[in-house]
Amino acid sequence: MACCFPVILDRSMRSSFKLSKSSSSNKLNKSKSSICSPTSLSMKKESVQENDHLVVCFGELLIDFVPTASGVSLAEAPGFKKAPGGAPANVAVGIARLGGSSAFIGKVGADEFGYMLADILKQNNVDNSGMRFDTHARTALAFVTLKADGEREFMFFRNPSADMLLTEAELDKNLIQKARIFHYGSISLIAEPCMSAHLAAMETAKNAGCILSYDPNLRLPLWPSAEAAREGILSIWDQADIIKVSEDEITFLTNGEDAYDDNVVMTKLFHSNLKLLLVTEGGDGCRYYTKNFHGRVNGVKVTAVDTTGAGDAFVGGLLNSVASDPDIYVDEKKLRDALLFANGCGAITVTAKGAIPALPTKEAVLKILDGATAN
């Protein structure tokens, strides 16, 4: 698969695009091609504090290429700048940036991009010992832009990419069992063998008593069809303890029903095992739903520069609070305070370009929230 757009690369990265002779069929059948690189072991598990606050994030880790010019389509972009991406990894870094304890489990290629991503997690104090490296598949690439009309445009290069090839045998189940919270998305449900690995990881976490946190993070271009995406996302819906969705995702999952109707949310999306359902509304804040109460928390007003990663920052902020107080959803005042903090995390993230570089520290969030209330 050739890239048809000009890409600006650092000199040290130009060798990353060497051609691979491995066929797609070989990639799918050679689980033994995975390696546990010294890079992934450079942060040993012992570096994660032995406490009850660990959040393990499972899923994709990739390279985003974003245009060097703003408000253009991918075809119009004069060039691209690389940035680490992948919602679960962003959440892991967000938690660590706030002073929490996090780990990431996923697969990348045994290539320069894959090793770069592992190093970025390590540099951000995320335990990367659960990462695996595939010698026959490349690290996933995504080209993403925010056009002048406000619409996001994506183009993905996964044919297949390494993240799709993670197997159950490669899971670090001991790491999962140490977690207080196990967080995941839906992209890892799209194809085998990663789907089976995802389901096995969830089962391990559930049996270990972990809180299951789910952010579907809908990316329609990656699914075979809209119906496949809807069925895939909902197939694990009733197993989660915490779910975060956007307004657009509600409309999609309910086949066009009103995302602002509390009755729609409670009847179509809330389930008996769910402790907390969150609906993010961008700069306007969020809504929350539990078995006993529901409401909304206002957003924090800022001037947005780049909305990439804002939802992941929100999730990281919330999960960091839940890891410290697992019963926070029972006390509405505590929950509202935690959601205001999470809104602050998202707000700060949109004030700078890129997801991981813009993720805030706890001190920065408290500063921006000084004087704000959860009303």
Residues annotated catalytic, as ranges: 312
Helix (H) or strand (E) run with residue 121 in it: helix 112-123
Pairing outcome for strands 141-146 and 80-85: unpaired
The DSSP secondary structure of 220-258, one letter per residue, reads: GGGSS-HHHHHHHHHTTGGG-SEEEEEHHHHHHHTTS--
Q: How far are the Cα atoms of 4, 106, 114, 270 from residue 197, in angstroms, in the given order?
A: 33, 10, 20, 26
Q: What are phi and psi of 54, to 5 degrees?
A: -70, 130
111 in Cβ contact with 362 (< 8 Å) = no
Please give the structure tokens belonging to residue 119. Answer: 């190093």
CA 145/CA 150 separation, integer angstroms: 10
| Angle separating helix axes 310-324 and 332-349, nearest 10 degrees | 150
Separation CA 188–CA 84 (nearest Å): 18
